[in-house]
Amino acid sequence: MKNCPSLAKLALYKGEKQLSVGQKRWIAGHVKKCLVCMKRLTRVEAGFKQLFREILKGTVIDNLQKSQPKPGDN
């Protein structure tokens, strides 16, 4: 965890509800690569457990992309 980017550490303290969509997407990418963060964050609180279960399934990034309107979809 020492070498992990500060945004992943920030997630530990702020809680999932206070993170923006972009931050969640970035953290999802980081956590997929970092087993230390994955273990630490899944232990922290129930809200994170749900988020990181979705990350493991690969659904959170898909859902975040769907929630953002794409240019030209109007």
Percentage, residues of the chain above pLDDT 90: 0
pLDDT-derived band of residue 37, with 50, 70 and 90 as boundaries?
Answer: confident
Angle of CA points 42, 50, 36, to nearest 5°: 20
In a domain, 39, yes or no: yes
In a domain, 51, yes or no: yes
Kindly report, residue by residue over 40-59, the tens digit of the pLDDT: 666 655 566 666 666 666 65
What per-residue confidence (pLDDT) applies to 45? 55
pLDDT-derived band of residue 74, with 50, 70 and 90 as boundaries?
Answer: very low
Query: What range does the domain containing 42 cover?
Result: 6-67
In a domain, 24, yes or no: yes
In a domain, 57, yes or no: yes
Count of the separate structural domains present in the chain: 1
In a domain, 60, yes or no: yes
Handedness of CA 8, 71, 62, 29 (dihedral sign): negative
In a domain, 1, yes or no: no
Percentage, residues of the chain above pLDDT 70: 31
What is the value of pTM for the model shown?
0.45
In a domain, 63, yes or no: yes
- Is the Cβ–Cβ distance between 34 and 4 less than 8 Å? yes
